[in-house]
Structure 1
Amino acid sequence: MRHIAIIGSGPAGYYTAEAAQKEWGDEVRVDVFDTLPVPYGLIRTGVAPDHQSIKKVALRYEKTALTENVRFVGNVTVGEDISIAELQSLYDAVVLATGAPQDRTLGLPGEDLANVFGSAAFVGWYNGHPRFADLAPDLTGKHAVVIGMGNVALDIARILAKTEGEFAGADIVAHALDALRTSGLETITILGRRGPHQIMMTPKELGELAELERASPHVDPDDLPEPEADAILEPGLRKSVALLRTFAAIPESERAAKSVTIDFDMYASPKAFRGDGQVAAVEVERTRIEKGRAVGTGETYVVPADLVVSCIGYRTSPIPGVPFDERQGRFANESGRILPGLYCVGWARRGPSGTIGTNRPDGYALVEKIAEDIGPGGRKDGRKGFDALAAERGLDIVTFQDWKKIEEAEAAAARAGAPREKFVDIAAMIGARG
């Protein structure tokens, strides 16, 4: 019998558990650990609340979680409740699937001003992550700046721009919906250092901006390359740039009919945040592209900003005793191998890149390496040994069956039309299991 511990219950964790089942069948026992009492990681707290179809992938993970040889071990923090070394003594392989939950910082003057947030924190706030439930952003100002040219920036801009009615069917948490009701935003500026041909935005997410009730997207036509230059782009990016051209062609009268403008400010690099206690503006330098890189021109200007959200990437959280690559913001590894018996997968391995589905081949490839390394296994105590240690330390483990009770309670508390009202407090989650 092989005994595998997976730290993290998001897509990378459950795809790896699924791969272990396919590799060894009944000859494996997999324990999937999570700090939170609830599973699914970024599916629950990262995917936009109005993108419910994407969240349905959790049904696949549930199928794996409900099998007898895979167990969810929630409410256990690795590195605090139990060390990596202790897990390695109990399991044939320990896999870190912890994702990249920390915001990268810009390192700019004024970044510590009030109402300046990283996207992990801001997304966690409106998605009900207990760590960010008390963030309390002030949305009453007129101007928001979202820094970044990827889909996370689009998600945040879209959430800020939506009317309450447009959240029908979404699982945005009540405290965020309450705050959005008070929103005074008139302009949401999406700030990017490079140009249209370098964006990381996908057509589906870009296209959603054109469907908003009270908001209209705007692109400066002067920021767009000549149309024939689009021919060299890969198809997805070409579609995205075509949408930007559509936004640039929206008549001023049509934009004026909407109360909110989503303004794409490209070739613009933030240099400092200004304000007295709370942010009031972003100082920006105009850029140009040289060999694919954004280079400052020396021309600066100021963008009003009562709220700033930076979407420039994420970092994995270090764990004591695990080699860490500070520059890349992930665990130091070679094709998923960190140390003998210790592995990483997903964003914890490669950094924050790829889609949810990218984690499936990543998990399967890692299990092949584990199979090469541990052979028949069976030399460790696995979950029996962990359970003994947990009992000794008085750990309050939340099982997958407990999670199903929490899920039922969230569904019962949902506002009309919403799939759930998430608990944003860990004690409330644990209490809901009965």
Structure 2
Amino acid sequence: MKTDFTKISECRQELSVEIPADTVEQSIERHSKGYGRTAKIPGFRPGKVPAQLIRARFREQLLHDVAQELVPKAVDDALASSTLTPIATPDVQDVNINEGQPLTFRATFETLPTVDPGRYDDFTLRKTPVSIDEDAVNKAMDQLQLRASRLDPIEGRNIEHGDTVTLDLERRLVKQPADSNNDSSTEPEQHRDVSVEIGHASNPPGFDEKLIGLKVGDTSSFTIAFPEDYEVSSFAGAKAAYEIEVKQLRLRVLPVLDEDFAKQAGDFENLAALRAKVETDLSQQAEIEAKSDVRQDLLRQLAGRLTTDLPEALIVQEIERRVEQLARHMMNQNIDPREANIDWNAFREQQRVAATDAVRSTLMLDAIVSREEINLTDEDITQEIERQAEASGRAPSAVRAFIEKDGGIHRLRSGLKREKAIDLLLSRSTIVTA
């Protein structure tokens, strides 16, 4: 087999291959025998069809099968004998195959560029000073108060803003979403004991106004028009007819912020002690965020120092990782990504610049890992698995088993080495608080 590699660009190679005619003939012969055992041709018993007739009758299929067998193996063999590693599956083109002739084809593929990280002890990074004001503490205390609130039943008055209402609800789309080709009404959906907080941001537009003034036992019919940019795509631009019955009305009652509240919130001696703990927690969280900003500043500067062309496959992989990350976040919020009013292709394009910078910084970090000979211990792996287990509420053994599937340990090791490289860079950087 003849092979030739041609460098097209810094991160793209072309492989030209010629497979000898006798290898092609041997493969044709094998596949012909397979066809001969199963082919049904009038006038011949199965397995008794002449080989030349099989070749003539199934010529195109045979040549296709031979190419499917020989081309991938030839690519693998050629790459195995080289020092090149494709980032993604090579793109095979111009396959020429005929009986009695060599099989020829081209395959193009992307490789990692050669990266020289240069000097990396001269970064100047800015850190935002941490300061927690009284207003931030008050807002955090309000959140504690809200979480400790209770819902008390109300009788004898109408629904007001801020009430929590329990409804039986029937909803039917009378106008389909803007992106639907079907404008007919849908079958009604029945929902029992639906809890709605009047004034909550997630309520459909205009829904609260239809409920305010009603009382327990009342029924009502109304139609809601959803805006074209509504976040749930299955309702964007649609109209829905509602039939509702008010079953219960409750009012959120906030506890008094006093000494008893402080003790119930965590056995604090008094309210001042609780406020001090809240302020400490806010300060610690602000410090974490400030350090994260410094880290992001470092990665941005690091990415800016790599100016070589990048493999498109790596950028696409990073974009798709971000798409999957957003989809998982939405599912965790009980939002179906397929119904969210998001143009996913537009989102992918919006992520391209950030994804490109992420690839650049990753390549630089990998080059630094190599130069500094950064390694991991078994304890490093164990600690990371235990950290993930604690964060997810799963057993460390279950986390390890999940990670070890599909080469996950390799990805984990790469990520931890990059984190060590970041720590190294931060230790050598000048950090200015301003």
Report if TM-score (shorter chain) is over 0.5.
Answer: no
TM-score range (shorter-chain normalised) is under 0.3
TM-score scaled by structure 1? 0.23
TM-score scaled by structure 2? 0.23
Looking at CA atoms only, which structure, 1 or 2, has the larger radius of gyration?
2
Compare the two structures and name the one with the higher helix fraction: 2
